[in-house]
Amino acid sequence: MVTDTSKPENIWSDELYVKYYLEMMDEKYPESQTEREANFIEGAINLFYGDKLLDLCSGSGRHAISMAKRGYQVMGLDLSNGLVEASKRRASESSVKDQVDFIQGDVRKLHKLKLETNFKAAYCLATVGFHMTDQDFNNMLTGVYHLLDPGGYLIIDVINRENLLREFNEKDWTKTRGGYTRLRKTKFDFKSSCTINQKYLKTPDGEEEIYYQWMRTYTLKEMVTFLENNGLNYHKVYGNFKRTAYSINSPRMIVVANKDDSNL
């Protein structure tokens, strides 16, 4: 897939991008939206106070911190050191640092991390597919399977490929209140089912950077096959965090699965 080898493979590991990302996320996903998404997690699966949760690709830590505030023991895992450090700071500021732990790691190589097992649930929101080959995704799911309790849950949230293609946007532009501008140009490669982006970022000081990113998109049928091939039973799909039924018009495809314990 197309990448620029002079840049970190994961754009979220780039110091300049992390600053923009944290500012953009705080504006685009205010606490009320994060709370809605955390409500979704609590409503979609059967959780009890104190259950252990694994936030895969935890980003700014917003879901992990919200779930910790609700009384769960959460581990957030992310590839970006900058975001892991920012998440730890935010957890301390929110007075939940004893309920949530943030570690640096790659979900494509979960087996290498030697994590504790027995998570009641894992969730991966808005990240599956980013620089993730099908083999990487299978490796991630095998890793998750081993970390979950028998019957434990997995929630995967991805963009709805059908709607993405129906309303395909080749160019979009955003500006943060702090003065970052970002122009994104996107192409779709049908053979690999991937979006390919170029992101042009300009900082408030006028510094400019270009980032490249590709993301695999999935049909529901493909997603179910990936899950079932890794011992995870497809349970339900939703079209957004309000738990609306999934359709061609849905912005998201949010799949709930659970660990098949029949072989244990």
Ligand X SMILES: C[S@@+](CC[C@H](N)C(=O)[O-])C[C@H]1O[C@@H](n2cnc3c(N)ncnc32)[C@H](O)[C@@H]1O
Q: Which is nearer to ligand X, 62 or 216 (CB)?
A: 62
Q: Which is nearer to ligand X, 37 or 51 (CB)?
A: 37
Among 103, 115, 126, 183, binds ligand X (CB under 6 A): 126
Query: Between 28 and 67, how does the x/- string for binding to ligand X read (CB under 6 A)?
Result: -----------------------------xxxx-x-----
Among 54, 91, 125, 256, binds ligand X (CB under 6 A): 125
Among 106, 189, 209, 260, binds ligand X (CB under 6 A): 106
Q: Which is nearer to ligand X, 127 or 240 (CB)?
A: 127
Q: Does 16 bind ligand X (CB under 6 A)?
A: no
Near ligand X in 139-198, by CB under 6 A:
none
Q: Measuring CA to CA, which residue among 157, 164, 166, 165 is closest to residue 223?
A: 157
Q: Does 237 bind ligand X (CB under 6 A)?
A: no
Q: Mapped to the 3 state alphabet, what secondary structure does the chain carry? A: CCCCCCCCCCHHHCHHHHHHHHHHHHHHCCHHHHHHHHHHHHHHCCCCCCCEEEEECCCCCHHHHHHHHCCCEEEEEECCHHHHHHHHHHHHHCCCCCCEEEEECCHHHHHHHCCCCCEEEEEEECCCCECCCHHHHHHHHHHHHHHEEEEEEEEEEEECHHHHHHCCCCEEEEECCCCCEEEEEEEEECCCCEEEEEEEEECCCCCEEEEEEEEECCCHHHHHHHHHHCCEEEEEEECCCCCCECCCCCCEEEEEEEECCCCC
Q: Which is nearer to ligand X, 10 or 163 (CB)?
A: 10
Among 38, 79, 86, 164, binds ligand X (CB under 6 A): 79
CA 21 to chain centre: 14
Q: Which is nearer to ligand X, 13 or 233 (CB)?
A: 13
Q: Does 101 bind ligand X (CB under 6 A)?
A: no
Q: Which is nearer to ligand X, 35 or 260 (CB)?
A: 35
Among 72, 75, 80, 226, binds ligand X (CB under 6 A): 80
- Residues near 258 by Cβ (< 8 Å), separated by ≥ 6? 45, 151, 152, 153, 154, 232, 233, 235
- Contact stretch for ligand X (CB under 6 A) within 125-133, 161-169, 191-199, 210-218: 125-133
Q: Does 130 bind ligand X (CB under 6 A)?
A: yes
Q: Which is nearer to ligand X, 22 or 260 (CB)?
A: 22
Give the interface with ligand X as residue ranges (CB under 6 A): 10, 12, 57-60, 62, 78-80, 83, 106-108, 125-127, 130
